[in-house]
Amino acid sequence: MKYVKQVFKMKIVLITVLGLLIAGLGLAGCGASQPAVEPTSAPAAEVVVGLALSTLDNPFFVSLKEGAEEAAKRTDVKLVVQDAKDDAARQASQVQAMIDDGVSALLINPVDGDAIVATIEAANAANIPVFTIDRGAAGGKIISHIASDNVAGGQMAGDYLAELLTKKGKVVELEGSVGTSAARDRGAGFNEAMAEYADIEIVARKTANFNQADGKTVFAQILADQPEINGVFAHNDGMILGAIEAAKEAGRADDILFVGFDAVDDAITALESGDLAATIAQQPAEIGRLGVEAASKHLNGESLSDVIAVDLALVAE
């Protein structure tokens, strides 16, 4: 009987304790003294930047892409890269797809500065900021253009070639792709320089589409047509390297001075071997880096210049 009483007392104690706990919980639920629950902040939206390149068959644009990728990794930006393979219609389709996907910003290196305008205007309508890199566009709203001063580079190349020729001789100009700002501006600068030298004659001016194979084919024909050529300027290194190949096959390379533009690795090798007299050094990786950084700054509310210039330098043997 004693054992039963002890158990009964224990039950009373347990019931009392449980009652107090329940009452305490009820008060806690109603009382003002309970700490407020902090609201959880929504995760930051992912920043996605589309990089539309004219071609990745050119080592210049491979370096530009690598610079953009480095900057994207450092600034926590997702970079989407598209290669148009020098096809303006393909590029328009690629950029439109990125617009439809709702990218945060676009970096465009146009295949054709005129053809890309309608697509840029579509991005403008979708409130997606657009930046042009290396090559400009003929229209649409652009936040900033990131590039070297191609006019100044063309002048630099022209003046140096003139000095090498002692300001007289017969010269050929190999032009880049029609419709690109790089071809237009480099050609304008070069011809502005040539106009200062009365004894230099431009005997041929042909388009070779920024392409090494075209540079070789086009210059081979010019060699066949022109018995005397003293110097050649090409709007990029691919074309000048093709021209050197053609001149070697024709047995005329030793009589001609060659000047290119971009300072890609193969051009530096040609400089070291003495095949190339000079090239204008751009900084493609820097152009890519600055493009991504400009997009990131704009999206963070910073104001930017209409043109972000990248330095040039003459590289000679």
Q: Which helix (H) or strand (E) holds 174?
A: strand 169-175
Q: Is 252 helix (H, G, I), strand (E, B) or coil?
A: coil
Q: What is the CATH superfamily name and number for domain 48-147+284-308?
A: Response regulator (3.40.50.2300)
pLDDT of 11: 39
Q: Where in the chain is the domain with CATH 3.40.50.2300?
A: 48-147+284-308, 150-281
Q: Which fold has domain 150-281?
A: Rossmann fold (3.40.50)
- Identify the residue whose tokens are 């070291």: 272
Please tell me the predicted confidence (pLDDT) of residue 42: 44
Beta-strand pair 144-148/307-310: parallel
Instruction: Round to whole Å and give the CA distance between 284 and 146.
Output: 10
Per-residue pLDDT of the chain (317 residues; tens, 9 = 90+): 333 334 333 333 433 433 434 444 343 444 444 444 454 444 557 999 999 999 999 999 999 999 999 999 999 999 999 999 999 999 999 999 999 999 999 999 999 999 999 999 999 999 999 999 999 999 999 999 999 999 999 999 999 999 999 999 999 999 999 999 999 999 999 999 999 999 999 999 999 999 999 999 999 999 999 999 999 999 999 999 999 999 999 999 999 999 999 999 999 999 999 999 999 999 999 999 999 999 999 999 999 999 999 989 999 97
Q: In the structure encoding, which two tokens stand for residue 196, read together?
A: 């200062």
User: String of b and e for 159-198 (b: at least 16 CB within 10 Å)?
Assistant: bbbbebbeeebbbbbbbbbebbbbbbbbbebbbebbeebe
Residues 133, 146: contact at Cβ < 8 Å? yes
**Which residues have C-beta within 8 Å of that of residue 223, sequence separation ≥ 6?**
229, 246, 247, 250, 252
Q: How many CA atoms lie within 13 A of 118 on its CB side?
A: 7
How far is residue 289 from each of residues 4, 65, 96, 242, 281, measured CA to CA in Å? 85, 9, 23, 29, 17
Please tell me the predicted confidence (pLDDT) of residue 166: 98
Contact between 126 and 83 (Cβ < 8 Å): no
Q: How far apart are CA 159 and CA 165, in angstroms?
A: 10
- Report pLDDT for 43: 52
